[in-house]
């Protein structure tokens, strides 16, 4: 505790310097007065007594410095002086300071922005429990060159019955492309809205491990009704609930969806989505009899969760074995999966991780962008090093004069390093700001843009900055 009290006392002496200097000056004056009285008591003249007292106590400035070192933290004083001197030096050279800051900020900003996208799209797992277990089941038509296609209703039902690798399997239907949701007309408060929608079965929500923030999810009976329209039920997203309904109690009430009143069963937690960006309303899956019986009508996107301990490779191996004699296993014929496609209508089944299915071919484009901006940072560092070397050469005379006045090499090096650290800190702050602005304005090229729209928005957070 004594050591801690001493350090606190020294810290107070450094931070409250003006107050401590007043105390030191008073103490030094008392010492000088005592020395003067001692000289007088030895019979010296007043002038000689003053001179003797000053000789005994030493020069006032040197004495003050010695006392400050004893009662403060000298290294903290040196650091404060180095920072103050560095700021003055950088202000005296505004062109060099501006060029150095912009060079560093552009390199750091570009890398931070692209790595934020890499982290959000590729590295960061999806917001589901055990996301690595989620697999996307698709059909492929090799003779037509078509990949990542939906399954038919009969294939989905048969797959749920005969597979042994998946703990749960669910499906959803859209009216758009392979990984897009449809849209519905929603009337809220007399105002018509066009919002994204998705039709799901109860198995999909349990497969994803989603739990509602309020209310409940669909039951198996509500999403497996055969024939006719799907029951008028809906679950809305947290974002839609807040933006359109103002967070008012909504569970159990009805809203108009495509001209039909739907009862709101529940509200999803914030950020929950299904293979897309900003799904606003979930509807029960409705499958008319004609669609159920038509094996050639591929409309269901299937997601499965692997059992604990089952790898994607093992699941694909089992799926290949199932496809080998699918008709015999299920008692079906005609348009069934096969491992030996020879006709345009022949197809097989494949699985891949859900995150890979979302990112798709964008992974390569995003990594190329990351490598490119990495080279930009290297070039920026090289340019900044050249600027600092040229500036050091121009300050050779200044360093020589300061060394002649008594400055040690360590002091000169410390002051130079302080300037460099201040440039780096300012450059990092400016770069992070540029990255934050660019993330709100940048549109990725090609596949990268489509993948980025299907994952959580890229943001700059503590994990990004720490890396």
Q: What is the pLDDT of residue 168?
A: 95
In a domain, 80, yes or no: no
Does 323 share its domain with 377? no
Assign 58 a pLDDT band (cuts: 50, 70, 90): low
Question: Judging by DSSP bridges, how do beta strands 191-200 and 134-141 pair with one another?
Answer: unpaired
Does 68 share its domain with 10? yes
Assign 464 a pLDDT band (cuts: 50, 70, 90): very low
Burial 56-84 (b: 16+ CB within 10 A, else e): ebeeeeebbeebbeeebbeeebeeeebee
Does 98 share its domain with 218? no
377, pLDDT greater than 70: yes
Q: What is the pLDDT of residue 60?
A: 56
Q: What is the pLDDT of residue 405?
A: 82
- For residue 350, CA distances in Å to 19, 137, 283, 296 come to 77, 6, 27, 17
Does 54 share its domain with 153? no
Tokens 């008692």: give the residue.
331
Nearest to 259 by CA among 364, 184, 341, 340: 184
Q: Residue 6 phi/psi, 5° resolution? A: -65, -40
CA dihedral over 395, 396, 397, 398, signed as positive or negative: positive
In a domain, 131, yes or no: no
Does 152 share its domain with 273? yes
Residues 321/337, Cβ–Cβ less than 8 Å? no
Q: What is the pLDDT of residue 286?
A: 79
Does 189 share its domain with 336? yes
Does 308 share its domain with 376? no
| 61-85 average pLDDT score | 65
Residues 420/388, Cβ–Cβ less than 8 Å? yes
Does 322 share its domain with 368? no
| 11-19 average pLDDT score | 59
Residue-number span of the structural domain to which 13 is assigned = 2-72
Whole-number percent of the chain with pLDDT over 70: 77
Q: What is the pLDDT of residue 119?
A: 79
In a domain, 84, yes or no: no
| 389-414 average pLDDT score | 82
Pairwise CA distance, residues 334 & 312, whole Å? 28
Bridge partners of 173? 199, 300
| pLDDT tens figures, 124-152 | 778 889 999 999 999 999 988 888 899 99
In a domain, 81, yes or no: no
Among residues 346, 379, 407, which one ends one of the domains? 346
Assign 396 a pLDDT band (cuts: 50, 70, 90): confident
110, pLDDT greater than 90: no
Q: What is the pLDDT of residue 459?
A: 54
Assign 37 a pLDDT band (cuts: 50, 70, 90): confident
63, pLDDT greater than 80: no
Q: What is the pLDDT of residue 208?
A: 92
| 259-266 average pLDDT score | 93
What contacts 226, CB < 8 A, 6 or more positions away?
A: 287, 289, 292
Assign 206 a pLDDT band (cuts: 50, 70, 90): very high
Q: What is the pLDDT of residue 466?
A: 39
In a domain, 185, yes or no: yes
Question: What dihedral angle (degrees, nearest 10) is formed by the CA atoms of 100, 104, 375, 116?
Answer: -170
Q: What is the pLDDT of residue 75?
A: 63
| 306-325 average pLDDT score | 94
In a domain, 129, yes or no: no
Q: Residue 349 phi/psi, 5° resolution? A: -115, 140
Q: What is the pLDDT of residue 238?
A: 94
Mean pLDDT for all residues in the chain = 80
Which long-range contacts does 219-225 make (Cβ < 8 Å, 24+ apart)?
222/284, 223/284, 223/285, 224/285, 225/284, 225/286
Does 60 share its domain with 97? no
Among residues 286, 316, 346, which one ends one of the domains? 346
268, pLDDT greater than 50: yes
- State how many domains the chain has: 3
444, pLDDT greater than 50: no
Residues 351/316, Cβ–Cβ less than 8 Å? yes
Does 365 share its domain with 450? yes
Tokens 């809205």: give the residue.
193
Does 331 share its domain with 413? no
In a domain, 134, yes or no: no
Does 178 share its domain with 286? yes
Residues 285/199, Cβ–Cβ less than 8 Å? yes
């Amino acid at each position: 505790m004594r050591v801690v009290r001493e350090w606190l006392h020294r810290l107070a002496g450094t931070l409250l310097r003006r107050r401590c200097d007043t105390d030191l000056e008073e103490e030094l004056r008392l010492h000088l007065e005592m020395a003067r009285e001692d000289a007088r008591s030895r019979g010296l003249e007043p002038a000689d007594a003053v001179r003797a007292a000053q000789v005994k106590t030493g020069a006032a400035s040197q004495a003050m410095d010695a006392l400050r070192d004893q009662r403060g933290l000298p290294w903290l004083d040196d650091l404060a002086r180095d920072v103050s001197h560095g700021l003055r030096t950088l202000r005296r050279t505004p062109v060099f300071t501006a060029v150095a800051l912009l060079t560093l900020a552009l390199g750091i900003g570009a890398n931070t922005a692209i790595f934020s996208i890499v982290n959000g799209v590729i590295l960061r797992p999806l917001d589901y429990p055990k996301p690595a277990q989620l697999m996307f089941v698709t059909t492929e038509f090799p003779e037509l060159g078509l990949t990542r296609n939906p399954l038919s209703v009969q294939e989905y039902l048969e797959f749920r019955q005969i597979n042994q690798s998946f703990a749960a399997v669910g499906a959803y239907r859209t009216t758009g492309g392979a990984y897009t949701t449809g849209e519905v007309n929603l009337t809220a408060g007399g105002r018509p809205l066009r919002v994204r929608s998705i039709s799901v079965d109860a198995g999909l929500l349990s497969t994803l491990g989603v739990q509602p923030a309020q209310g409940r999810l669909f039951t198996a009976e509500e999403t497996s009704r055969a024939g006719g329209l799907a029951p008028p039920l809906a679950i809305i997203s947290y974002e839609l609930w807040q933006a359109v309904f103002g967070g008012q109690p909504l569970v159990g009430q009805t809203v108009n969806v495509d001209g039909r009143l739907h009862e709101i069963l529940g509200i999803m937690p914030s950020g929950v989505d299904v293979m897309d960006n900003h799904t606003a309303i979930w509807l029960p899956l409705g499958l008319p009899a004609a669609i159920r019986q038509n094996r050639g009508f591929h409309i269901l996107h299937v997601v499965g969760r692997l059992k604990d301990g089952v790898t994607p490779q093992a699941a694909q191996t089992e799926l290949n074995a199932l496809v080998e004699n699918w008709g015999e296993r299920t008692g079906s014929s005609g348009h069934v999966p096969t491992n030996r496609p020879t006709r345009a209508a022949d197809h097989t089944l494949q699985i891949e991780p859900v995150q890979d299915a979302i990112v798709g071919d964008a992974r390569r484009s995003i990594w190329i962008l990351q490598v490119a901006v990495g080279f930009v940072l290297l070039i920026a560092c090289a340019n900044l090093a050249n600027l600092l070397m040229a500036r050091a050469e121009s300050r050779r005379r200044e360093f020589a004069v300061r060394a002649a006045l008594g400055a040690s090499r360590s002091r000169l090096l410390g002051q130079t390093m302080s300037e460099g650290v201040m440039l780096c800190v300012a450059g990092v702050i400016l770069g992070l700001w540029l990255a934050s602005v660019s993330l709100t304005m940048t549109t990725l090229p090609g596949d990268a843009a489509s993948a980025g729209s299907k994952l959580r928005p890229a943001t700059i957070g503590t994990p990004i900055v720490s890396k």
